[in-house]
Chain A
């Protein structure tokens, strides 16, 4: 079945550091790919998405590129801030049928000032 594997956490960085959170997937067909973020005390929010190969999703300085050849969707940010501390989830949804989201296990990110 469809699955998503994320980089193990937790990840701790200093402010202004470069961030990469790895995400790879297994899916039949051509899924859409997402990064969701959960800030402390808040619900899940969509951070960015890509719906086809080579698409780049971007938002709030975060970027991720849909790489079909490596079945990956790694999240990157050039300079993180304390306010980026949160749990990040990579997810996919199938392009047909029920379009349910299949999530990775999440990566907790802590940014120290």
Chain B
């Protein structure tokens, strides 16, 4: 079974530029998550989708970050304009959903973003 795919793996941009990340979840997984992992910290949820609807985006900086999940499958996360503090690894995860306790989330390899 293929895992969660993400691209690109690495991205270097200058501040005030824009960037987009792509995620393809495991086939059949209804729930998709984007996390931000700053160096030395644990991942922090940015946004969660259930199919193509947003469940939780309370920690997404909406003035610069946006995300969409068209057709309830692939997702893109965009930053525009980027700031130095956006340097982090952006992780995509997916799960079957359904609200079961202990639902396992499967993580992709992440995209390492460096903002200069």
Contacts and interface: CB of A to CB of B under 8 A. Distances in A.
Interface of A: 4, 32, 34, 36, 42-46, 49-52, 89, 91, 93, 95-96, 98-106
B102 A51 contact: yes
Interface size class of B (residues with CB under 8 A): 20 to 34
A44 B101 contact: no
B91 to A, nearest CB: 7
Interface stretch (B17-25, B36-44, B65-73, B75-83): B36-44
Which of B42, B44, B110 is packed against the most chain A CB atoms within 10 Å? B42
A103 B107 contact: no
Interface of B: 3-4, 31, 33, 35, 40-45, 48, 55-56, 91, 93, 95, 99, 101-110
A103 B108 contact: no
B45 to A, nearest CB: 5
Most B CB within 10 A of own CB, among A52, A101, A102:
A101
B41 A105 contact: yes
A43 B108 contact: yes
A44 B90 CA distance: 12
Contacts of A91: 42
A93 B102 CA distance: 7
A101 B41 contact: no
Nearest to A4: B42
Given A43-B4, A51-B101, A103-B44, 4 more contacts: A44-B43, A98-B48, A101-B35, A106-B41
A42 B45 contact: no
